Amino acid sequence: MPTDNYPRLQQEPHLGVQVAEAPLGSLLLQTVRAHAALAASLLAELELVAPQEVILLYLQDHGRIPQTELVRFLGRDRSTVTATLQTMERAALIARTPSATDRRAMEVDLTEAGRALCPRIRAAWAELEGLTFGSLDQRQRDELTSALGAVRDAARVYAAEKGDRP
């Protein structure tokens, strides 16, 4: 099929919709999607998918925790988190055991395989940081950090006022 008749085929891959009334939001969403796609390719090399790497790093930092803490931390529904943890358990990255104090509750901890993967996950995140932000000088990084923090905080305040959790 000749591409002369289909000029869209000659363009860069489409990252998302550009909403004229929300240029910053549109750019932020496009950026998040591009960053997530690159992260997914780096995680695939470790045979992981998001948010498995975040769960492993959280467990490395916090040790054995109740499964409900992961639900709150991830901001996802219980069934989605349970399905993710079951996949990770089958891969021998985590172990889930009944709570000693509440038999209805489960606790989650790293296995040796999960613990051994954490340095590689941190290296992948460092590589992602370099790939996506390496062209920025320190001043630009500081300004971006400040601006993104302000955007995040504004979203959290609005969500808290509505009773939601972003």
| Banded model confidence at residue 18, pLDDT cuts 50, 70, 90 | confident
- Between 20 and 117, the higher pLDDT residue: 117
Q: Record the pTM.
A: 0.83
Domains of the chain with bracketed CATH = 25-160 (1.10.10.10)
CA distance 24 to 63: 38
Q: Taking Cα atoms as reference points, which of 165, 148, 164, 157 lies closest to residue 25?
A: 148
| pLDDT tens-place string over residues 50-90 | 999 999 999 999 999 999 999 999 999 999 999 999 999 99
CA distance 29 to 16: 8
> In the prediction, which pLDDT does 110 show?
98
